[in-house]
Every structure is written in C-alpha cells, then in structure tokens.
Amino acid sequence: MARIFSGVQPTGNLHLGNYLGAVRNWVKLQQEYECLFCVVDMHAITMWQDPHELTQSTREVAAAMMAAGIDAKKHIIFNQSQVPGHAELAWIFNCVARLGWLNRMTQFKDKAGKNSENASVGLYAYPNLMAADILLYKATHVPVGEDQKQHLELARDIAAKFNNDFGVEGFFPQPEPLILGTATRVMSLKDGMKKMSKSDPSELSRINMTDDADTIAKKIRKAKTDTDPLPQTPAGLEGRAEAKNLLGIYAALSDTSLEDACAKFAGEGFGTFKQHLADLAVAKLGPIQSEMRRLVADPASVDQVLRSGAERARALAEPIIAEVKEIVGFLKP
Ligand code: AQP
C-alpha cells in the first residue's frame, strides 16, 4: 500500500487554513493510503517557542487531528521528537544537500525576512529535516500545499543524490506530491494577499480551531472586504482578494464549488453573506471543537496516543535508518 507522510507544526493554535488546507483532506486519504501524521515539534523550534506552550500545542494539534476524524488506531499520529531517526537522517542529509540548493528556498527567505543573519541554522536547514521526515519511512506520497512544493522537490533531489553518491540506485524512492483538488488555500481575514498563519500577530487575521461561536462570528464580521456587491461568477472576483477568500471559505465549508457559492450570493452585500458564513463556520467547526476540548481535557490520554504512535513509527523507521547507517559506512554499535 502506498504510504503517506504529512506534518503540522505545533507553533500555536491550529487555524481554519490548516484545517481546510491540510487536516480535513488527510481524513479522506485514510481510506486509500497507509498514513503517518506527525506533529513536527522539531520543525517548530526552528523559531523560538515557549517550552510550556510547545507542549500544550503538541497535544492540541494531535487532538485536532483526532477530532477532525483521523483514526489513530488504524494510522499513526505521533510527535517527531519521539523518533530519533528524524534527527539522525536529517544530519546525514545536511551532508548530502548542497548549500546552493538551500539558498534557493523561498520559504527561508520569507520566514527569515530581512534579518537572515539572525535566523537559526535550523530554520535554514528545515528542508533537510523535512526530507528526512519523508524518507525515514520511504513514504511514497506527500500531500503538499503550494507553499511546500519547493521543499518536496528538494527532498526528491536529496533522495536521488544519496542513491547516486552511495551507489544504491532505488534505495530511497522519489516521493510524489499529492496535489489535492479539495485543498483550499485560506488567506488572512485582514489581508487577502497573505496566507492565514499561526504566527500572524493579529488574532483577527485567523479563525482558530479553538475559537468559540461568538469569536468566530466577530472575526468574520470584522474581516476586510470591499464595498461592491458579490458577483455572479468567480470571474467577478478578479482583483478582489478578500471577497474571493471569504467565498472560497464558504465553498470549502459547504463542500460546493466557488461557482455555486457565487451564484448563491450574487448581488448580495457583505452584511448578509458574512452572517451566512459565520453560521456555516460555527455549524461545521462546532462538533470538531467540542471533541477537541474533550480530548485536551484529558492530556494523559493524548500523550498515550502519541506514545503509542511513536512506538509504531519507530518500528517502521529503525530498519531503514539502520540500513542507511550501513550504506554510509558507520560502524555498527
Ligand atoms: N492558510 C493556509 N491555507 C491552506 N493551508 C495551509 N496550511 C498552513 N496554512 C495554510 C497547511 O497546513 C499544513 C500544516 O502547516 P504547518 O503548521 O506545518 O506550517 P505552515 O504552513 O508554516 O503554517 P502556518 O500557520 O503559516 O504556521 P507558521 O505561522 O508557524 O509558519 C501544511 O500542509 C500547510 O500547507
């Protein structure tokens, strides 16, 4: 069976973008693939995290995955730092990947900003760790959003260079991107050109998976819009990034197309539309949120799921990392 690896950073509250762009689609993939869903805590610390909050967020992200419908018995939910093979393989990949390759990564430039001299070495080497995450399990498919496409390309280059450098053709597979038609890129509620993000300083820019009904409605009411009525077709959303984002969210939450969402609200003002959107968001997210709250209220049971997931992940990773060490020429313990 084809194997999927995918991850979310516990860098804060999961938001609607993480849900519609990632987690919701993973739920569907469970039927067809063997899945490893990872809370990538080692990726999270490439930017400073408050240790207490990191622990809480790790549990929250795991709880969100389960609450959204991922079956932790059939598939594997775990946190990255519990499987030592991620760090071990990432180091080997640090020695395989070339500086020139990493210099081309646009996400580093975006995240490090102008002050790149002050960014952590970990943030720079982040794509090598991501390659290790995938290849440690010889995952065949990786669900990726636009923002991760370049990193997956790099993982493929690393796999090919490792195989070539050590003369082990075919040892690491070429992981394939799984582009999901249903994945929605959700933009900030305050700026339709910026993606919704956990690290945006404005709380009003995102809907968190832990927001209550009033907060969701307030954030949607305060979302940036323009003054024109809603158009008949998606073509009328050209140059209206905020309107396009809100209609896109409506379409995704109601499992319809953008065309249908436009047709439904054609000619309406944002006041009426926002009320419908808020009601829909509360209705769709409510059950997931209450299940998340129930799970987080019992941290010991979330920890147990993560421990058991890590044990199963280690069982898959250990023979692969042992073979990698032998290929590289490391003396056996
Ligand atoms: N706005 C978004 N729309 C659609 N998908 C999104 N994802 C993130 N933001 C959006 C997808 O969620 C998965 C997990 O992402 P991540 O937490 O590992 O990292 P990220 O992409 O860096 O997410 P954030 O929220 O922007 O985190 P910070 O602010 O910490 O960098 C990925 O599949 C991602 O594509």
Domain range summary for the chain, segments of one domain joined by +: 3-184+298-328, 211-294
The rounded Å distance from CA 17 to ligand 1 centre is: 7
* Whether the predicted pLDDT of 217 surpasses 80: yes
Active site includes 195?
yes
With pLDDT > 70 as the criterion, what percentage of the chain qualifies? 99
Tally Cβ neighbours within 10 Å of residue 209. Answer: 22
Instruction: Tell which CATH architecture fits domain 211-294.
Output: Orthogonal Bundle (1.10)
Minimal-distance CA residue to ligand 1 atom 26: 197
User: How many Å is the Cα radius of gyration of the chain?
Assistant: 21
DSSP state of 195: B
Nearest to 93 by CA among 36, 155, 144, 143: 155
Task: Copy the structure tokens of residue 220.
Answer: 């949607």
CA 210, 211, 216 angle in degrees (round to 5)?
145
Question: Which atom of ligand 1 lies at the shortest distance from residue 143's CA?
Answer: 33
**Sequence-ordered list of residues with C-beta below 8 angstroms from that of 42, at least 6 positions apart, any chain:** 80, 81, 86, 87, 129
Active site includes 28?
no
pLDDT in tens, 172-191: 999 999 987 666 789 999 99
Cβ of 17 below 6 Å from ligand 1: yes
The rounded Å distance from CA 110 to ligand 1 centre is: 13
Cβ of 49 below 6 Å from ligand 1: no
Question: Which atom of ligand 1 lies at the shortest distance from residue 184's CA?
Answer: 4
Candidates 9, 47, 206, 209: which one to mutate for ligand 1, based on the most atoms within 8 Å of Cβ?
9
Q: What is the mean pLDDT of residues 199-211?
A: 93
Question: Which atom of ligand 1 lies at the shortest distance from residue 44's CA?
Answer: 30
Q: What is the mean pLDDT of residues 183-201?
A: 91
Q: What is the pTM of this model?
A: 0.92
Q: Among the residues of the chain, which ranges form H helices?
A: 16-18, 24-29, 41-44, 51-68, 85-94, 99-103, 106-112, 121-135, 149-165, 213-221, 241-253, 258-265, 270-296, 299-328
Out of 3.40.50.620, 3.30.70.141, 3.40.190.10, 3.40.570.10, select the CATH number for domain 3-184+298-328.
3.40.50.620
pLDDT at 219: 98
Give the active site residue among 114, 138, 195, 325: 195
The rounded Å distance from CA 32 to ligand 1 centre is: 24
pLDDT in tens, 78-122: 999 999 999 999 999 999 999 999 999 999 998 898 889 999 999
Q: Given pLDDT bands bounded at 50, 70 and 90, which one contains residue 145?
A: confident
Cβ of 206 below 6 Å from ligand 1: no
